[in-house]
């Protein structure tokens, strides 16, 4: 166990602004804004010029793990405001033809296994969802929002009491977490 102070530095890329308050961290860029609540009172985060500094009073294993997690979150936030995260889902309907439509606020799946009542999921404001033929594309500057939205869409068409080898209908994630290619 070391008693030195722990200091980690993250360089801020061009076109990205970072604000750190005691309550939250806000990262702004060309593709939007991502904010995250601070949950580690022992970690001190501040912006010094073009560097984000994460500091802790001690340099123990626990503090290094928490600081590494914070560093990864901040890097993901910076990457997301430069290029949005994209998840691609595939619509597979072998038994009944599914009809999938999306609006700004929700995604609707009609005729899933011949059901009369459509399945509807609310889309978070930070995510955008579009349907392109047999593909659904989820994009967001926040990696966690994009991933959770894609997972919720996949779970929307989850079935039980059927043989998964035969009944493969549903909406499945085929590409996850990649940033948009220029």
Looking at the structure, do residues 91 and 172 belong to the same domain, yes or no?
yes
Q: Is 125 helix (H, G, I), strand (E, B) or coil?
A: coil
Same structural domain for residues 97 and 169? yes
> Distance between CA 54 and CA 132 in Å, rounded?
42
Same domain, residue pair 78 and 99? no
pLDDT at 164: 78
* Separation of first and last alpha carbons in the chain: 46
Q: Is residue 1 part of a domain?
A: no
Q: Compute and round to an integer the Cα radius of gyration of the chain.
A: 21
Q: How many residues does the chain have?
A: 182
Do 66 and 136 have their domain in common? Answer: no
In a domain, 163, yes or no: yes
* pLDDT per position as a tens digit, 87-114: 999 999 887 889 999 999 999 999 988 8
35 and 94 in one domain?
Answer: no
- Residues 47 and 98 both lie in one domain: no
| Together in a domain, 24 and 106 | no
Is residue 111 within 8 Å of 99, Cβ to Cβ?
Answer: yes
Domain boundary among 82, 98, 113: 82
> E strands, the chain, where?
6-11, 17-20, 24-29, 32-37, 44-48, 51-56, 85-92, 99-102, 106-110, 119-122, 127-132, 135-140, 170-179
pLDDT value for 182: 43
* Domain containing residue 22: 6-82
Same domain, 77 and 97: no
The ranges of the chain with pLDDT < 50 are 1, 182
The answer to whether residue 139 is domain-embedded is: yes
> Residue 105 is part of a domain; what is its CATH number?
3.90.930.12
Would you state the pLDDT for residue 57?
Answer: 87
- Of the residues 82, 111, 138, which one is the last residue of a structural domain? 82
- Are 165 and 98 in the same domain? yes
Predicted local distance difference test score (pLDDT) of residue 114: 86
Reported pTM? 0.86
pLDDT at 3: 59
Distance CA 167, CA 92 (A): 10
* Domains held by the chain: number: 2
The pLDDT of residue 179: 62
């Amino acid at each position: 166990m070391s008693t030195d102070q722990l200091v980690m530095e993250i360089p801020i890329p061009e076109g990205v602004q970072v604000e750190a308050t005691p309550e939250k961290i806000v990262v702004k860029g060309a593709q939007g804004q991502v904010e995250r609540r601070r949950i580690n009172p022992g970690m001190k985060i501040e912006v010094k010029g073009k560097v984000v500094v994460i500091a802790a009073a001690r340099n123990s294993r626990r503090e290094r793990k928490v600081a590494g997690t914070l560093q990864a979150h901040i890097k993901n936030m910076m990457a997301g405001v430069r290029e949005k995260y994209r998840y691609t889902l595939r619509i597979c309907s072998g038994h009944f033809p599914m009809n999938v439509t999306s609006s700004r606020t929700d995604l609707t799946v009609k005729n899933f296994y011949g059901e009369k009542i459509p399945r509807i999921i609310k889309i978070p404001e930070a995510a955008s969802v579009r349907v392109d033929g047999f593909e659904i594309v989820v994009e967001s500057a926040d990696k966690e929002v994009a991933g959770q939205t894609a997972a919720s869409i996949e779970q929307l068409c989850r079935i039980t009491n059927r043989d998964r080898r035969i009944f493969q209908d549903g909406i499945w994630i085929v590409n996850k977490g990649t940033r948009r290619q220029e």
